[in-house]
Amino acid sequence: MIITVLHSPVSLYFIIILTFLYFHALHLACVGSNCATITIVNRCSFTVWPGVLSNSGSASIGTTGFELASGGSRSFQAPASWSGRFWARTGCNFDSETGQGTCLTGDCGSNQVECNGSGAKPPATLAEFTIGSGPEDPTRKQDFYDVSLVDGYNVPMVVEASGGGGSEQGSSNCLTTGCVADLNQRCPTELRFGSGSACKSACEAFGSPEYCCSGAYASPAECKPSLYSEIFKSACPRSYSYAFDDATSTFTCTSADYTITLCPSLPR
């Protein structure tokens, strides 16, 4: 008993020190233009539970999932070379005592608010980023970002760049992208998820190689837009509608910060 009591404060002290050093290291990694601030804003009329997935080789940016009430926002610091994705989970129900639960759309299968390294189960609208590479370089290189409907759609989403360089009229630099249209209302019956809370991709609905751009169709030359991807593209011309929809769906910017707005109230 005496040994336990004596060691408890010491253990707590080291935990506090390690926590301080961890967050201090994050701060140092994001000094100046070498870091992007990514902010998620929820303009939906309901609470969402955004999920965050850092790609292999990219460090965590502080959380893998959280609750975001209507009207709320939360910001993250993404260092150079970070890549990953964000999405909205909807219709979530987490037990107040155990913290366990699931979501109607975008569920990551962790049974928790944190996704713990798991991605979204389709269908879900995705915001994808690759922050300029080269942490050894004091000036961040070019970022790449997009909004993807390749895994289907569950909520409207827009990504806006701010403070970046290289914006030129008619180019893909620093432009706003996303999907403002409510595709759940336009979703073909055969792609409809559940009672209409989301819209599947043709790949998810049918699993055919020509829709999934797999097997013999695993190249831009063989995998072409389908009737279903054209429905997505017509409604949301700047979003990825299928796997090889790169030319009109990938955007770039240099040394920018980014805002992901869910359910944006923008002109249509």
Domain ranges of the chain: 31-262
Q: Which CATH class is domain 31-262?
A: mainly beta
Tell which wins on pLDDT, 237 or 26: 237
User: Would you say residue 235 has pLDDT above 70?
Assistant: yes
Separation between Cα atoms, residue 172 and residue 166, nearest integer Å: 9
| Ranges 28-42, 70-84, 213-227: which has the least confidence | 28-42
Show Cβ contacts of residue 6 under 8 Å, excluding neighbours closer than 6 positions: none
pLDDT(27) > 50:
no
Taking only the tens place, the pLDDT of each residue in 91-123 is 999 998 999 999 999 999 999 999 999 999 999
Mean pLDDT in residue range 9-30: 42
Residues 164 and 255: beta-carbon distance below 8 Å: yes
